[in-house]
Every structure is written in structure tokens, then in C-alpha cells.
């Protein structure tokens, strides 16, 4: 529904969205609102994101003539080695989201943790571009940590997830350390259920220290001492130097064009290069003339997804360590050649040496304020490590799980190297003005979800609620995965073309996209109904 308001925030949980809206009403700008929202998300969705996670934040501020990304792709510990887990490989997830190792050392526990990156991102973004005092922006998160919150349906679903293809079930993550178990489990050790109460006084104290001392309280102060002591005690790889040396990356946007829109997105190791490659391929087709989600539409879009996935696996990694051929991958002529293959019916093959299911442990906030400032931020824990240090109250990322344990590849482990992430917070511009502010959680499915919702809005003219609610599909392997609302007749037609089609039991899936469409006479927001989020106009 289009709303005649000047500002809007969309996020995957109600409490953070409301916190961001209140910050806007208090005179904060889009950056203040986004960071306040993100900090509350870390309280009320604690396995999805948090100060010890990673993220990518796109900021557009026309009054300051600033447009750029602050990235916090959590790097591997400085003690990591390229071949340290090569002998432990059991398989690779079918969708490409990580490897399965003996003992699950990369997936859960202290060795799965990369350097905590998000807090520095939050603090840098707000300090440099916010309008309110830092303490005021942190206060809503302190409130929710200390007064408590009730488990929502999507939180309970995620905490109870059984895992797939050798991955640790999430109920093992929330019982891995006594501190996590005390926070998120009932007395019988089972995950708390919908309506159960969670209060995290330890995290409230941590946040109060951060509100007073900024990011340094975490990276070099007493919190850092507690982190390092816990890592040393339990065989973790993170050291004081990992914390002290961590800094965010600042990059210019990666630009693409799609049907008269200018697309601003993030650079590697983020997923923007995949989004632009797919848009370039699909621009060669008259998608609007196809029936939406018809067999031919799914075939064409899925083949674009597969080709971008192949290129990602081969070429995209941390640009400090890997020479990523962005210009070639995002060239229109390269896309035209792939589109010609798709027209001829050529099926791309995505190499995987095992199978598994998608993960969705990330979250998103999209904001525009009354002055036209825009923020799109995707932040995550990766696969949460399950580790909560006694007395600190937050869970650490599990980002080591997505590195390739085979040396010599774009995604291989190296000390200080960030792994590829599909996070793709983006802004589409029309005639020099923001038109679509978009992003999503959803692990390796993020770029695929953002792509489909963008096509829904731009090619098919859907409202944002329609665009984020339409059934989705994905192709990050040789199979096409479909949500349970894709008709069986479509599945049968694709199978008749020789495709393996895997039906997901869930009616919503393949990322959870949150977006704002900017019209001359109002704002149109969509919060993915697969999560618990809302749209708030101010």
C-alpha cells in the first residue's frame, strides 16, 4: 500500500522496526534508524545477527553528496591456515553454502568463529553519518535486552531447525554453551517456544559499556579481555590481535544498469557482482511478456542464476586475496553470450560434490528518511557458532563454515581473509533518484531473492507487498528448488524439459526480502511475510 509519508523503515522483526521508527520521530536520520534497528535485531533475533557477526551497509545521503558502502565481512582468524581442515572434508552443501567437515569444527563451536565485525560497522556508520548521539541510538537495544521480549513464530521455527546434510541443528547451537542454554532454552533443555519470555541482562550490561565507550569498549577494552580469555580457554582461534586490528572496509558502489534503472550494489566479497550479472542476462529477455512464474519464466531465470553461481564459485572472493574479474563478469557482451545459450536451451551445470539444504541466518533493514537519505543493510552471524561467553550475552558468528577447506581456490581459507557472502543490499535509481531500496537475509539464496523481487516490481509492476509475497524459486545447483506455492503443473513442465525440481515444504522461502519503493507521491514498503517483519511509515 502506497503511503503519503516522508520516511519509512522495513525490517524482519517488529520490535527493531518500531525502534527505528521512534529514532526517526526523535529527529534521527536514516543511518541512526538503521543502526538502532540493527542493534535491537541482535537482541530479539540473536541467532540471526549481532555485534559479533558481519554485514554490508549501503548509505546514500544526497545532502552530503555521499554514496558508498561500509562493509564488515568477518575475516578468518590470523591463526587460520589454508590447509588446516583439508583432511576433514566430508561434503559440500548442494546450494553451495559451505562445507561439511568431520567433527563439524567449522560449523559449531569456538573454531568456527571469525573475527567479530559488525559492531565496528554499526559504530563507524553512525558516528560518521548519524545525527543523534551514539548513546541514544544504542538505548533501544539496552531496553529490550534488560526488560525482555517474547519469542515470535519465526524465532521459534529457526531455533528448532533440525539442520541439513550434516549441519548442526540449531537446537544444538542454543545448547552448546551453558550461557546460551540459560538464555534460550526451557528448563527441560528444549528451545523456548512462541510466547516464552527472554531477558538478557548480561547483554544489557555489555551494551551499556558499548554505549559509553563506543566500539573500542568491545575491541580493546574489558569486553575484549573477556572474549580473548574465553577463546584461549576453549581452543578458539580468535586472539587479541584479531580484535585490535579489525577495521571496516569503505568502497564505492558497484554499478549496473537494468532497463533504464541504475543499480547500486556492494562489491566483493559481497554478492553484488552476482546480482548485476543476472540482471544483465535477463535484460536480454522480454520477461514482462512471459506469464509470471510460468515454466518458461522459471527456466530462463533459473539458468541465469546457475550461470552467476558458477562464476561466483570460480572467481569471487575477498579482493584483498583474489583478483576478481568484475568488469568481465558484469559486461553486457558476456551476458548476451549467456542469454544466447539460454535461448538455445543449453543447461548450465553447477559442480557440487554433495547435497544439502539452504540456510537463512541473516537479517535486513531498509530505511528512507524525510531528506531522502537511504540505508540498506544486511547483517548476519553466518551459521551461528552457538558460543556465548559467560557474562557477555551475545552469540558469535560461525563464518568459518562457508570457507572452502581446499587450498588454492577463490573461497579458500587464509589468515585475515573474508569469505564470499551473498549479502546484496542494493538501491535502484531512476533518473538519478532512489526508486527501490532492497535487501534480504537468506544465506546463498539472498541474491536470488533480491533478484526475483526486483523483477516482480520493475518488470511486472507489482506493489512491494505483492513483490515480496509472490512464490519464489532458486537454482544454485543443477536442480531448481521451488517453494510449495509454485504450481505442480509448472514443476511437471520443468521436469519434462529435463530438470530436477525439488519442492520445498514451506510456502515461503529462498531469502526474506524487505524493500521500499519510492514514488513521486509516496512510499510503498514490503516486509517478507515469511518472517515476522513489518513496514512503518513516519
**271 pLDDT tier (thresholds 50, 70, 90):** very high
Could you give the angle at the alpha carbon of 312 between the alpha carbons of 526 and 399, nearest 5°? 75
Distances (CA, A) of 79 to 223, 332, 352, 442: 21, 41, 28, 29
Phi, psi for residue 63 in degrees, rounded to 5 = -65, -30
362 catalytic? Reply is: yes
Measured between alpha carbons, how far is 126 from 178 in angstroms, rounded to an integer? 33
3-state secondary structure of 439: strand
Instruction: Please provide the average confidence, as pLDDT, over all residues in the chain.
Output: 94
Question: Pick from 452, 437, 463: which is nearest to 508 by CA?
Answer: 452
Where is pLDDT greater, at 3 or 407?
Answer: 407
Q: Is the pLDDT of residue 458 over 90?
A: yes
Kindly give the residue spans of alpha helices, DSSP state H, lying in 325-441: 326-329, 332-343
**60 pLDDT tier (thresholds 50, 70, 90):** very high
**Torsion angle (degrees, nearest 10) of CA 504, 425, 47, 119:** 170
What pLDDT does 158 receive? 87
Strand partners, 367: 9, 375
pTM, entire model = 0.96
* Residue 63, Cβ density class (10 Å: 0-12 exposed, 13-18 middle, ≥19 buried): exposed
What pLDDT does 354 receive? 43
Grid cell locating 203: 547483554
Average of per-residue pLDDT across 63-81: 97
Question: Pick from 443, 441, 385, 392: which is nearest to 174 by CA?
Answer: 385
Q: 311-321 burial, b for 16+ CB within 10 Å, e for fewer?
A: bbbebbbbeeb
What pLDDT does 100 receive? 87
Measured between alpha carbons, how far is 340 from 335 in angstroms, rounded to an integer? 9
**222 pLDDT tier (thresholds 50, 70, 90):** very high
* Residue 289, Cβ density class (10 Å: 0-12 exposed, 13-18 middle, ≥19 buried): exposed
Measured between alpha carbons, how far is 122 from 129 in angstroms, rounded to an integer? 11
Model confidence pLDDT, tens digit, residues 133-151: 999 999 999 999 999 999 9
What pLDDT does 357 receive? 44
Measured between alpha carbons, how far is 198 from 287 in angstroms, rounded to an integer? 47
Model confidence pLDDT, tens digit, residues 415-426: 999 999 989 999
Give me the half-sphere count of Cα atoms (radius 13 Å) on the Cβ side of residue 64: 14
Fold of 252-357+423-519: Serum Albumin; Chain A, Domain 1 (1.10.246)
Measured between alpha carbons, how far is 504 from 188 in angstroms, rounded to an integer? 31
- Domain(s) labelled CATH 1.10.246.130 in the chain stretch across 252-357+423-519
State the sign of the Cα–Cα–Cα–Cα dihedral 351, 352, 357, 363.
Answer: negative
Model confidence pLDDT, tens digit, residues 84-131: 999 999 887 766 667 889 999 999 999 999 999 999 999 999 999 999
For strands 501-503 and 480-482, give the pairing.
Answer: parallel
Measured between alpha carbons, how far is 426 from 55 in angstroms, rounded to an integer? 13
**264 pLDDT tier (thresholds 50, 70, 90):** very high
Q: What percentage of the chain carries pLDDT values higher than 70?
A: 97
Model confidence pLDDT, tens digit, residues 150-160: 999 999 988 98
Average of per-residue pLDDT across 41-57: 96
Count other C-beta atoms under 10 Å from residue 233's C-beta.
10
What pLDDT does 431 receive? 96
**Torsion angle (degrees, nearest 10) of CA 448, 452, 455, 456:** -170
- Residue 253's contacts (CB-CB under 8 Å, 6 or more residues apart) are 58, 67, 68, 69, 264, 265, 266, 267
Distances (CA, A) of 390 to 176, 189, 381, 473: 12, 18, 19, 41
| Concatenated DSSP letters of 492-515 | HHHHHTT--EEE-SSSS-S---EE
**359 pLDDT tier (thresholds 50, 70, 90):** very low
Count other C-beta atoms under 10 Å from residue 187's C-beta.
5
Indicate which residue of 175, 177, 362, 389 is catalytic.
362
Amino acid at each position: 500500500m502506497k503511503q503519503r509519508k516522508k520516511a519509512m523503515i522495513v525490517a524482519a522483526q517488529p520490535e527493531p522496526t518500531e525502534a527505528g521508527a521512534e529514532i526517526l520521530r526523535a529527529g534521527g536520520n536514516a543511518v541512526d534508524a538503521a543502526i538502532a534497528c540493527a542493534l535491537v535485531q541482535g537482541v530479539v533475533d540473536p541467532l540471526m545477527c549481532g555485534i559479533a557477526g558481519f554485514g554490508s551497509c549501503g548509505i546514500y545521503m544526497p545532502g552530503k553528496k555521499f554514496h558508498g558502502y561500509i562493509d564488515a565481512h568477518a575475516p578468518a582468524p590470523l591463526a587460520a591456515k589454508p590447509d588446516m581442515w583439508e583432511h576433514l572434508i566430508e561434503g559440500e552443501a548442494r546450494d553451495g553454502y559451505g562445507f561439511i567437515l568431520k567433527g563439524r569444527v567449522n560449523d559449531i563451536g569456538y573454531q568456527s568463529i571469525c573475527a567479530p565485525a559488525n559492531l565496528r560497522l554499526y559504530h563507524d556508520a553512525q558516528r560518521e553519518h548519524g545525527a543523534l548521539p551514539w548513546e541514544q541510538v544504542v538505548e533501544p537495544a539496552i531496553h529490550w535486552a534488560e526488560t525482555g521480549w517474547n519469542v515470535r513464530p519465526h524465532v521459534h521455527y529457526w531455533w528448532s531447525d533440525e539442520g541439513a546434510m550434516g549441519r548442526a541443528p540449531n537446537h544444538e547451537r542454543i545448547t552448546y554453551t551453558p550461557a546460551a542454554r540459560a538464555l534460550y532454552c526451557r528448563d527441560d533443555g528444549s528451545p523456548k517456544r512462541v510466547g516464552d519470555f527472554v531477558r538478557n541482562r548480561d547483554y544489557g550490561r555489555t551494551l551499556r559499556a558499548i554505549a559509553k565507550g563506543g566500539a573500542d569498549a568491545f575491541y580493546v577494552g574489558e569486553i575484549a579481555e573477556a572474549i580473548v580469555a574465553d577463546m584461549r580457554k576453549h581452543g578458539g582461534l580468535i586472539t587479541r590481535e584479531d580484535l585490535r586490528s579489525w577495521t571496516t572496509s569503505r568502497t564505492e558502489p558497484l554499478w549496473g544498469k537494468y532497463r533504464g534503472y541504475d543499480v547500486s550494489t556492494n562489491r566483493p566479497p559481497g554478492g553484488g557482482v552476482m546480482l548485476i550479472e543476472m540482471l544483465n542476462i535477463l535484460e536480454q529477455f522480454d520477461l514482462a511478456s512471459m506469464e509470471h512464474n510460468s515454466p518458461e519464466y522459471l527456466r530462463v531465470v533459473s539458468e541465469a542464476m546457475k550461470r552467476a553461481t558458477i562464476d561466483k564459485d570460480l572467481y569471487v572472493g575477498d579482493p584483498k586475496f583474489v583478483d576478481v574479474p568484475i568488469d568481465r563478469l558484469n559486461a553486457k557482451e558476456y551476458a548476451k553470450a549467456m542469454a544466447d545459450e539460454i535461448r538455445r536451451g543449453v543447461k548450465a551445470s553447477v559442480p557440487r560434490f554433495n547435497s544439502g539444504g539452504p540456510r537463512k541466518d541473516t537479517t535486513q533493514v531498509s530505511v528512507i528518511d524525510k531528506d531522502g537519505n537511504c540505508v540498506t543493510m544486511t547483517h548476519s552471524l553466518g551459521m551461528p557458532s552457538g558460543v556465548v561467553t559467560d557474562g557477555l550475552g551475545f552469540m558469535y558468528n560461525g563464518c568459518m563454515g562457508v570457507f572452502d577447506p581446499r587450498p588454492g581456490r577463490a573461497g579458500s581459507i587464509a589468515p585475515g581473509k573474508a569469505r564470499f557472502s551473498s549479502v546484496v543490499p542494493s538501491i535502484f535509481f531512476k533518473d538519478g533518484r532512489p526508486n527501490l531500496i532492497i535487501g534480504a537475509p537468506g544465506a546463498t539464496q539472498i541474491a536470488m531473492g533480491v533478484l526475483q523481487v526486483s523483477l516482480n516490481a520493475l518488470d511486472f509492476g507489482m506493489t512491494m507487498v505483492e513483490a515480496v509475497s509472490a512464490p519464489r524459486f532458486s537454482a544454485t545447483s543443477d536442480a531448481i528448488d521451488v517453494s510449495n506455492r509454485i504450481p505442480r503443473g509448472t514443476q511437471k513442465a520443468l521436469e519434462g524439459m529435463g530438470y530436477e525440481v525439488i519442492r520445498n515444504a514451506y510456502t515461503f522461502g529462498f531469502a526474506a526480502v524487505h524493500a521500499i519503493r519510492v514514488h513521486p507521491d509516496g512510499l510503498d514498503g514490503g516486509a517478507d511475510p515469511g518472517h515476522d517483519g513489518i513496514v512503518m511509515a513516519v
